[in-house]
């Protein structure tokens, strides 16, 4: 393999590595984690209006616990 082919392989490898690192930094940023957790929290939060109060409280507690767990915050 000539030096030009080796240089192309090195450039491709470094480019993919750079893009991978940028993606992971963006994906794991605090803002994106909060957005993903809020979407999960909102899915747990959708409750029909005719739900009894006791069940409503249990569902809210579960949704709140899931949000805190998603954010990586321990409850105790």
pLDDT, tens digit only, all 76 positions of the chain: 688 999 999 999 999 999 999 999 998 888 888 888 888 777 766 666 677 778 778 877 887 777 778 777 776 5
Per the structure block, which two tokens stand in for 60? Answer: 């809210």
For the whole model, what pTM was predicted? 0.56
Residue 22's pLDDT is 95
Alpha-carbon span 73 to 60, nearest angstrom: 17
Q: Is residue 37 within 8 Å of residue 11, measured between CB atoms?
A: no
Residue 11's pLDDT is 96
Residue 13 vs residues 7, 8, 17, 26, 42: alpha-carbon distances, Å: 10, 9, 6, 20, 40
């Amino acid at each position: 393999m000539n030096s030009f082919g080796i240089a192309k392989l090195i450039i491709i490898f470094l480019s993919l590595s750079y893009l991978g690192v940028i993606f992971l930094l963006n994906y794991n940023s605090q803002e994106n984690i909060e957005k993903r957790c809020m979407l999960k929290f909102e899915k747990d939060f959708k409750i029909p209006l005719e739900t009894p109060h006791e069940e409503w409280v249990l569902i809210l507690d579960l949704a709140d616990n899931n949000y805190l767990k998603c954010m990586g915050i321990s409850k105790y």
